Structure 1
Amino acid sequence: MKIHLERKNKAVHFEGSSELSPIKVQIDGSDAIGGEGKGVRPMELVLMALGSCSVFDLSTILKKQRQDVQDIQVEVAGERRDEVPNIFTKIHISFTLKGDIDIEKAQKAAELAVKKYCSVHDMLAAGGVDITYSLKFN
């Protein structure tokens, strides 16, 4: 897998692309380093990667379990240490599921999705990040 970052201005706005997809992602830095609010920040992308990886796997497992999932929402919150580099120390993933869903099956599916199948989780956890998750049902 390979990505490309193209500089879009004389500050820190870049456009990311991948050889696997035609979709472009706008990435920008904080105001402190010249960012202009033209894209997401790199550490936000890390949280998005973890949330999307987990929810893709959760969705797939719930579908295989024949659960009637009408909607899934995901929130990911991360805490970073104060020293440089400001890496994540704790991350919490909150899944909100809507539909006719067996709670026990959903809990098992979330455990598998986050802890077994999500490669982003494994990379972050190997680096010492404490990753937790919770489920809410509507």
Structure 2
Amino acid sequence: MKIELKRVNDAVHFEASSPSSTVKVHIDGSSEIGGQGLGVRPMELILMALASCSSLDLITILQKQRQNITGFSASAEGKRTETIPHVFTSIHLTFQLKGDVDPLKAEKAAQLAVKKYCSVHDMLASAGVDITYSININEAHGKIESAVL
């Protein structure tokens, strides 16, 4: 696996690319170091990587179980240390599912997606990051919450 990173301006705005895609990702630093809000920040990319990695697996598992997903979104919120280098100490993922989805199948699929198949989870967890998740299905069915060990 390989990526390329190019500086775009005289500040800290970068453009990242990968041979596997034509999409360019814009990355920028905080305003304290000259960032201008022209891209996501590196630690936000970590949250995006965790949410997308586990979501890809969650959707794939539920589709194989013939669950009818008509809507999906995910969010990730991380807490960081106060001292430099401000690493993540905990991250909570929230999966929003809509459609005809069995809550027990969704719970098992989320557990497998996050704990077993998501390599980003394993990398962060091995560094001591506490990762938890919750699932909301159609909001009328209530909320299923689980901790990832």
**TM-score bracket relative to the smaller structure:** over 0.9
Counterpart residue number, 1:122: 122
Counterpart residue number, 1:41: 41
The secondary structure found in structure 1 opposite 2:62 is: helix
Q: Distance in 2 between matches of 1:48 and 1:75?
A: 8
Q: Distance in 2 between matches of 1:40 and 1:92?
A: 19
Q: Distance in 2 between matches of 1:60 and 1:43?
A: 26
Number of corresponding residues: 138
Please list, as runs of the form range in 1=range in 2, the aligned pairs for 1:70-89 lying within 5 A after superposition: 70-89=70-89
Counterpart residue number, 2:141: none
Counterpart residue number, 2:133: 133
Q: Distance in 2 between matches of 1:63 and 1:4?
A: 33
Cα shift at 1:68:
0.4
* Unmatched runs of 5 consecutive residues or more in structure 1: none
Q: Percent identity?
A: 63
TM-score (norm 1): 0.99
After the TM superposition, which parts of structure 1 deviate over 6 Å for at least 4 consecutive aligned residues? none
Q: Distance in 1 between matches of 2:122 and 2:89?
A: 14
Q: Distance in 2 between matches of 1:120 and 1:70?
A: 26
Aligned residues: CA RMSD: 0.5
TM-score (norm 2): 0.92
Counterpart residue number, 1:31: 31
* Unmatched runs of 5 consecutive residues or more in structure 2: 139-149
